[in-house]
Structure 1
Amino acid sequence: MSESVSVRCPACRREHLYAAPVYPCACGAPVAPALDPQGTATAVTHRAWDDEWAGVRCGACDRESQWPRPEVGCPCGTVLLVPVARADAGETRPKAPPAARRPFQPVTIRTARDAVTAAAVYLRWLGYRDIRRADQRPPTGIGIAAHGLLAQVDPTVRPASLRDVECLWLTAMTESAACVYFSLAGYAPDARTRADALGVPLFVLDLTGTPQPVNGLADELDAEGAAR
């Protein structure tokens, strides 16, 4: 069970009791952002990628990963960012060897942000590290990257096109990285054919947050995980 803190809305002064969400670390252990009970919640006035992620350190393997920064919606309409303590605050625990890959624990998708989180959780489960925002913004969707990998998450209701797949592949080629595509609405037939020819794994994200392999390359990635 994660910790809870009292959060006051600066707009209407209403108090909220907030519990930090729990995510699965790549080693399989549950982790949650360390909330700062002395901090002050701030209202979200505009969205910036760097402000929406926080470092969270796993108590089992001491790995630090980036997870969505906690936020809560007030009935008055204000969205509040919950204050988070530094990932390196407190005593550092000794590192333990990661356990074998455990059953995947999906993140339910309700928003575009959830789709990105679900893809990031899945990539960590596969064994990819250092998940972050991609250096180059894709023409559609949202780009995320890991060591040796470039991923594109398309949360729109339009099936990904041949051009979408080719743009991802070309960008990955310039960075000497592998690539993978996640789409909520699936893929156009010619996009699937082109992905097979270029070696791009394709996944469809269902609303439970579980990536479903679309082609054989995705089946292999799901079964084998990240290259060691």
Structure 2
Amino acid sequence: MSESVSVRCPACRREHLYTAPAYPCVCGAPVAPPLDPHGTVTAVTHRAWDDEWLGVRCAACGRETQWPRPELGCPCGTMLRVPVARAAATGEPRRQAPAARPAFQPIAIRTARDAVTAAAVYLRRLGYRDIRRADQRPPTGIGIAAHGLLAQVDPTVRPATLRDVECLWLTAMTESAACVYFSLAGYAPDARTRADTLGVPLFVLDLTGAPQPVNDPAHELDATGAR
């Protein structure tokens, strides 16, 4: 069960009860970051990718993956970063046989960061590892990468274009990686046609955070996962 801590906003001094969100590990077990009830709450004044993620180890299978750092929005307008405890080493973790792929637990999308988080959690469910920010910034949206995969997340309100799909595919080709596109607003007709030709999986992220495959390569990826 996710733990809860009392969080006081340093700007307005309001106190909140914060519960750490739990995300599904690829083994099926829920994983939540360990909160530090004695740590210092800080206000988020700027964003840096390295500060957005932290490694959390699954107690069931011992796998460590990257999860978004816990944050809480105060009604005064301040975004609060909740302190995380450093997990103590307790010897070899308990191992168990891999479970069937768990049902995807969507993350409601309110911001561009939510869209990236939803895509990252979905890719982890498919079996991709070491998800991180892509080395090259795409012309639109946000690029994330995993071992052997390059993904683009487009949180804008315009459909992805033919050029968007081709740029993603070309960048992936130079890195000898597969690629996948996530869009909030869908795709232009010629972009979908070109993606089918190139074998690029296309997903639409609805506001609940559930990726919906919209072409055959996406349906195949959703069914088979990472290879």
Q: Which bin holds the TM-score, normalised by the shorter protein?
A: over 0.9
**In the alignment, residue 134 of structure 1 is paired with which amino acid?**
A
The answer on 1:163 being equivalent to 2:166 is no
**Are the equivalent residues in 2 in contact too, given 1:41–1:81 (CA < 8 A)?**
yes
Identical counterparts, % of pairs = 85
Aligned match of 2:88:
89
Offset of 1:67 from its aligned partner?
1.0
> Given the two structures, how large is their TM-score scaled by the length of structure 2?
0.96
CA–CA distance in structure 1, aligned partners of residues 76 and 114 of structure 2: 23
Where does structure 2 lack aligned partners over 5 or more consecutive residues?
none
**Are the equivalent residues in 2 in contact too, given 1:129–1:147 (CA < 8 A)?**
yes
2:180 match: secondary structure: strand
The answer on 1:210 being equivalent to 2:210 is yes
2:221 match: secondary structure: helix
CA–CA distance in structure 2, aligned partners of residues 154 and 29 of structure 1: 29
CA–CA distance in structure 2, aligned partners of residues 85 and 199 of structure 1: 43
**Are the equivalent residues in 1 in contact too, given 2:68–2:117 (CA < 8 A)?**
yes
**In the alignment, residue 88 of structure 2 is paired with which amino acid?**
A
**Are the equivalent residues in 2 in contact too, given 1:62–1:96 (CA < 8 A)?**
no
Aligned match of 1:75:
75
For 1:139-158, what aligned pairs fall within 5 Å after superposition?
139-158=139-158
Count residues in correspondence. 226
Aligned match of 2:39:
39
Aligned match of 1:13:
13
The answer on 1:201 being equivalent to 2:174 is no
> Given the two structures, how large is their TM-score scaled by the length of structure 1?
0.95
CA–CA distance in structure 2, aligned partners of residues 156 and 8 of structure 1: 33
Aligned match of 1:112:
112
Aligned match of 1:99:
99
Aligned match of 2:187:
187
CA–CA distance in structure 1, aligned partners of residues 152 and 134 of structure 2: 9
**Are the equivalent residues in 1 in contact too, given 2:24–2:102 (CA < 8 A)?**
no
**Are the equivalent residues in 2 in contact too, given 1:126–1:222 (CA < 8 A)?**
yes
**In the alignment, residue 40 of structure 2 is paired with which amino acid?**
T
Offset of 1:95 from its aligned partner?
3.1
Aligned match of 1:50:
50
Offset of 1:141 from its aligned partner?
0.5
**In the alignment, residue 56 of structure 1 is paired with which amino acid?**
V
Offset of 1:13 from its aligned partner?
2.0
**Greater shift in the superposed pair: 1-10 or 217-226:** 1-10
Quote the RMSD (CA, aligned, Å). Answer: 1.2
1:16 match: secondary structure: strand
Encode CA deviations 1:140-195: one digit per residue, 9 max, x unaligned: 10111111000000010000001000110111111110000000000001101111
Aligned match of 1:138:
138
Offset of 1:96 from its aligned partner?
2.8
CA–CA distance in structure 1, aligned partners of residues 217 and 76 of structure 2: 47
1:84 match: secondary structure: coil
CA–CA distance in structure 1, aligned partners of residues 18 and 121 of structure 2: 22
